[in-house]
Structure 1
Amino acid sequence: MSNPMPADRTEINDSLRLPVLRVALVEDHEIVAVGFAELLRQYADIDVVTVAATVRELDFVAAPVDLVVLDLRLGDGSSATDNIRQLASAGIDVLILTAAEDPQAIRDAAKAGVLGIVRKSQPVDELVEAIRAAASGETVAGLDWAAAIDGDAGLADAGLSAREQEILALYASGEKAQSVAYLTGLSKSTVANYVSRIRAKYANAGRPAHTKVDLHRRAAEDGLIGGDLPARRQ
């Protein structure tokens, strides 16, 4: 599949000063791929630098990217899990785009380390916001992700205490350790100790959380993200 011609664009959106997000699209249906790429090029902060039919066709040296938008099912015989792990080994974040009704495949993709899963049938603005979030390293935990995780009886419970869940919900939502300490009335060093224990518990449960993005994923999987956070102390 050939790459679409690049649209005229500046590297910086001067009015908002937003950096351009470099995106690769892996989709083996050419009409869908070209149409989706042209749709995204309407947005000044998104640059589709590569369109490919398979992961093997991608060349991150010639065309470095911030995110790969990957079709869940490709026609080359590869599995989504293998594709995600191959991209992860190259340090590339992945957002899954799918039309499939396959909770097991979505569970497998979530466990393999994708940042999110969105449907091709979702409104354009939701797809664009998901790409922006994932390209910035944020987890996109939509309804398909939540339903698949909820249906996974094999997802091990990390056994977090109520206090650890509170700390995780704050920290994984983007708060810094100092801010979490302020919100909970703890010292910064105590918060750091809590975070270390939380990481250890997830590792022991077979669900490692080495980075803050990993912690966000675990919190989303366990339903801790999205609830009301404690009010800021005066």
Structure 2
Amino acid sequence: MPARPLSVLIAEDHSLIRNALELLLSGYPDLEVVGTAANVEETVSVGTLVRPQVALVDLQMPGAAGHAGNAEDEVPNGVRVVAALARLSPETRCLILSAYREPEALRAALNAGARGYLVKDTSPAKLVIAIKQVAAGDLVIDDKLAARIALAKPCPLTRQEVAVLRHARDFLTVAEIARTMRLSGGTVRNYLTRAIQKTGARNRHEAVRIAAANDWL
């Protein structure tokens, strides 16, 4: 009796990419796409219902309201999906797909329970292999990102401090950062002060340069 195909859920908000992934995986007789989703709520709902062996999860997937993450702590919604499925469908192993090689996002995803992290320029063949490896219980990480993590210094900053520095990198004022993150100006200044102290910088711009050079942003 032939083995049952490996069940996969595709969670990706861009329909072109979602359809392409479904077409790709459907070409493998040992893989079966058992569901697709376009936002956080759909992914958690479908994942809980069909309980796939592997969920391909877009890192920056929007919520139902279209937001890619929480403004205060900058946790990507893909990480929230991983954490939710770990609670509601623990047999499902999550493989994150991201447009960027982000060390902090990788750490957050792994802490939430993800079993893999690949970037979207991964070849189709490598993606299929990764899905099977994750289903078998292996941990799969993009090679270049893994190398960056291995060489990087440990990040001394909290998620909030990293988020504030990212906005400072875009030359936002304290008032603009506060408005974007829905925080008070005093809280933003406190985060900036702590980030400057932890990086050994003289000002916020130098703190941004140091953090970026160490792959903390």
Across the aligned residues of Structure 1 and Structure 2, the Cα RMSD in angstroms comes to 2.1
Where does residue 227 of structure 1 map in the other structure? none
Contact conserved, 1:118 with 1:142, CA < 8 A, in 2?
Answer: yes
Count the aligned residue pairs.
Answer: 140
Identity, % of aligned positions: 29
Greater RCO between the two (CA within 8 Å, min separation 6)? Answer: 2
Distance 1:144 1:55, change over 3 A: farther
1:4-43 residue CA offsets vs partner (Å, 9 max, x unmatched): xxxxxxxxxx7xx443110001000011101111111000
The 5-angstrom pairing of residues 35-46 of structure 1 reads: 35-46=20-31
Q: Please identify, of 27-36 and 106-115, the stretch whose mean Cα deviation from structure 2 is larger.
A: 106-115
Does structure 2 retain, via aligned residues, the 8 Å contact 1:19–1:45? yes
Letter of the structure 2 residue corresponding to residue 67 of structure 1: V
Counterparts of 1:19 and 1:148 in 2: how far apart (Å)?
A: 38
Deviations along 1:150-197, one digit per CA (max 9) or x if unpaired, are 225159xxxxxxxxxxxxxxxxxxxxxxxxxxxxxxxxxxxxxxxxxx
Question: Partner amino acid for 1:41?
Answer: S
Q: Which has the higher helix share?
A: 2
Query: What does residue 26 of structure 1 align with?
Result: 11
1:52 aligned to 13, 29, 37, which one? 37
- Please, what TM-score do these two structures have when normalized by structure 1? 0.54
- Listed one character per residue, the Cα deviations across residues 178-227 of structure 1 (whole Å, up to 9, x for unaligned) are xxxxxxxxxxxxxxxxxxxxxxxxxxxxxxxxxxxxxxxxxxxxxxxxxx
Call closer, same or farther: CA 1:145–1:115 in 2, change over 3 Å. Answer: farther
| Equivalent residue letter for 1:19 | R
Aligned to 1:84: 82
Q: Which runs of 5+ in 1 are unaligned?
A: 1-13, 156-234
1:79-228 mapped onto 2 (5 Å cutoff):
79=76, 80-90=78-88, 91=90, 92-150=92-150, 151=152, 153-154=154-155
Q: Which runs of 4+ in 1 moved over 3 A?
A: none
- Cα deviation for residue 61 of structure 1 reads 5.3
Structure 2 residue runs without a partner (length 5+): 70-75, 157-217
Give 1:75's match in structure 2, choosing from 33, 51, 62.
62
Please give the alpha-carbon distance, in whole angstroms, between the structure 1 residues aligned to 2:95 and 2:3. 20
- Write the deviation string for residues 46-66 of structure 1: whole angstroms up to 9, x where unpaired: 101101012321334542311
How far does residue 89 in structure 1 lie from its aligned partner after superposition? 0.9
Are residue 66 (structure 1) and residue 60 (structure 2) matched? no
The CA distance in 1 between the partners of 2:87 and 2:115, in whole Å, is 14
Q: Is 2:83–2:112's contact at 8 Å kept on the other side of the alignment?
A: yes
Task: Note the C-alpha offset of 1:148.
Answer: 5.0
**1:145–1:86 CA distance, 2 compared to 1 (3 A):** farther
- TM-superposed CA distance for 1:127, in Å, is 0.4
Q: Is the 8 A contact 2:34 2:52 kept in 1?
A: yes
